[in-house]
Structure 1
């Protein structure tokens, strides 16, 4: 029963650590390093020092892990922070690359028209487009101007 709360704490701490590190890194890249909290500056300095010895991915993983451990203990987790379970994709979402692909939403199908409703509809059922309001307004203005011109 004690394992469930620490799993919940671990998940929240890991999510917060990943989000905070990404925020701190972006703020540092934008020139706001001095405005970051002291713990954030310490984590980012360690991250930068490790970049000379290892890849960016490894250095980031270590920095997030350090932040995660600190958050885990601050949130009330006991002992060492557990390793997070790897995230799995659903079977139908095979990750081929790291590219987001936008999809067009499917076209909405018109509701079926019942014979009794055809006479009650305002739009013509023959498939013609309705006349835009601006066109109607322009025609009315032209009629008024013509009337004024012809009645003088």
Structure 2
């Protein structure tokens, strides 16, 4: 993909730098996402009592996390643990040099002028279902106003019974 014209070495060099930085950004983003997900998984497994079944690198990261909890807050300790895991993943995925700091995520736009405090979604109660009569269950939906309404099955059955009785009465 890196093609340069003869005598145009400066442009070729800038293309190589731009492509390298773009690929390292992609690697960094993937490594960061994987590190955050893995740390959360390891922490949950450790809380559920499966610490011994975790891989060695996970046990090492969690032991460091627990040691730091005595000296600092949970958020700071978690940030450092994720950063260590991120750096290891970045180099494993082919990143060169020091793992770049992730780009800060922009906060989502506030709804109705309120400031966004966290990313928790409000629970919305489902709408109450419409009350249906027992006779209407399984029936066809009601047609728009002005259209013919279907004849109930009981009325059809009663009419057929009346026809049979009338036929027998008239044929005797």
Fold in common (TM above 0.5): yes
Partner residue in 2 for 1:100 = 121
Consecutive unaligned residues in structure 2, runs of 5 or more: 1-17, 128-140, 159-172
Residue among 43, 63, 70 paired with 2:88: 70
Moved more, 5-14 or 86-95: 86-95
Match of 1:21 in 2: 39
Q: 2:104 aligns with which of 86, 94, 113?
A: 86
Gaps of 5+ in 1: 107-121, 144-152
Listed one character per residue, the Cα deviations across residues 85-139 of structure 1 (whole Å, up to 9, x for unaligned) are 0000243454134532134689xxxxxxxxxxxxxxx732139xx99xxxx7xx6
Q: 1 or 2 for the larger relative contact order (CA 8 Å, sep ≥6)?
A: 1
Q: TM-score scaled by structure 1?
A: 0.69
Taking only aligned residues, the RMSD between alpha carbons, in angstroms, comes to: 3.1
Aligned to 1:6: 24
Q: How many residues align?
A: 121
The residue number in structure 1 matching 2:143 is 124
- Cα pair 2:108 2:116 within 8 Å, conserved: no
Partner of residue 37 from structure 1, selected from 48, 55, 60: 55
TM normalised by structure 2 equals 0.61
